[in-house]
Amino acid sequence: MSYRSPWMDEDLDAFKDLAKNFCEKELTPNVERWMENHQVDRELWRKAGEVGLLCLSIPEEYGGGGGTFAHETVLVEQQARAGDSGWGVLLHNAIVAHYILAYGTEEQKLAWLPKMASGEWVGAIAMTEPGTGSDLQSVKTKAVRDGDEYVVSGAKTFITNGGQADVIIVVAKTDTAKGADGTSLIVVEADRPGFRRGRVLDKIGLKSQDTAELFFDEVRVPVTNLIGTAEGQGFVQLMQQLPQERLIIGVTSVIAMELALETTLAYTKDRQAFGRPVYNFQNTKFKLAEIATEARIGRVFLDDCIAKHLKGELDIPTVAMLKWWTSERAMVAIDECLQLHGGYGYMNEYPIARMWTDQRVQKIYGGTNEIMKEIISRTL
């Protein structure tokens, strides 16, 4: 049953070929080594920049590809099909760069975005703290103004691309008395004195992603590194950009569901039990029929959200629905697929095992699924 997303066109088909060729050449042969190293090669970012895979949806005047979110979606699907889950390119492209594009000054855009587009710089955003998860109003990291500089102090954790990041958007309090209204986004370059990296964290999945702890020990940055026209705009900026991050989680969850289905269909048709293929048992066929249905429902819902997003019409409650439902159903589907692999499903050498551990975090980051339901309930 072939299905084509309605937002795909000839330009995206051609781009898909480029992304597929790059991912098969540069990602697939290196996945095992990157998992052992807990990070991708730094050179990968430069290679991606050379062929135009970075900052795909950033205007060409800032070094980007001049594309749309659809291009980002095509790239991440080819990354997943190449067997990689560690390269944090979607965060770099579709999240970090877009904060700068949306709220940065012309000087900031010209200074930072071309370096991100070329792969010279890797981007990260530092929201979560050791004592603060989804509650971004309660961050403790401070940015105290001292003349023409901010002095940034605090600690962040679970930071995607943290091990290699060169430019980090830091969520900090510029006024601790104002709660959410005292939150600002400030860029810290990794070469500034006082910035240091902690551990690259040992996770149950996403083994080749350099998720790290970051520390800011009175790091001085110029006041021109503030993103926005004034202090205190950070919380609003986060709320405006988080829907795209949640859409991304919907994208990766639906792709994971589809790949789990494809992988398990192939395995059960090849694997023999009691003298016949595992697929020929009624339970197997019924389970896979259920997963195929939910994967299609997820894809149709996702495509509708992408189409709305491309027109600037995607609302916060709808993308919260997408994020929680697809990440939840993908986890259930992958678990069923793992079960159909039997004991081999528990072996890391089989793709389904990695899909299972990689998918689990989707229910947590970008705002937990419980937070998504709270957002939805407020509109009922």
Catalytic residue set:
245
Instruction: Give the position of tokens 């997820």.
Output: 298
Decide if 115 contacts 104 (C-beta within 8 A). Answer: no
Question: What is the three-class DSSP state of 63?
Answer: coil
DSSP letters spanning 35-97: HHHTS--HHHHHHHHHHT-SSTTS-GGGTS----HHHHHHHHHHHHHTT-----HHHIIIIIH
Tell me which residue of 365, 250, 350, 226 sits closest to 309, measured CA to CA.
250
Question: What is the three-class DSSP state of 15?
Answer: helix
CB atoms within 10 A of CB 270: 10
Tell me which residue of 186, 190, 170 sits closest to 116, measured CA to CA.
190
Residue 237 Cα to chain centre, angstroms: 18
Question: What is the three-class DSSP state of 135?
Answer: coil
Q: What radius of gyration, in Å, describes the C-alpha atoms of the chain?
A: 21
Decide if 23 contacts 48 (C-beta within 8 A). Answer: no
